[in-house]
Amino acid sequence: MNIGFVGVGRMGGNMARRLKDRKFHITAVYDINRARATSIATELGCAAGQDLSEVTAESDVVFTVVTDD
């Protein structure tokens, strides 16, 4: 199963790390903070999507971990 994340701040980043530690396949991440997305993607060995469509194209399941503001 290919998993993507939208929002990799404190909560989303840690969720992605935990799933990776449990041997799940993280394929792509996206965050409005490009530096954060790139850093987490490098750490997890996955793609840092330039936009949301790149995450959805690479993933069977997408976790959205964003604020409501």
- DSSP of 1-66: -EEEEE--SHHHHHHHHHHHHTT-EEEEEE-SSHHHHHHHHHHHTSEE-SSHHHHHHH-SEEEE--
What does pTM read for this prediction?
A: 0.93
Domain limits, the chain: 2-64
User: Distance from CA of residue 14 to its chain's centroid?
Assistant: 10
Q: Tokens for 60? A: 């069977």
Please write the tens of the pLDDT for every residue from 36-60: 999 999 999 999 999 999 999 999 9
Instruction: Say whether pLDDT at 69 is over 80.
Output: no
The class that CATH gives domain 2-64 is alpha beta
Percent of the chain at pLDDT > 70 equals: 100
Residue type, 17: R
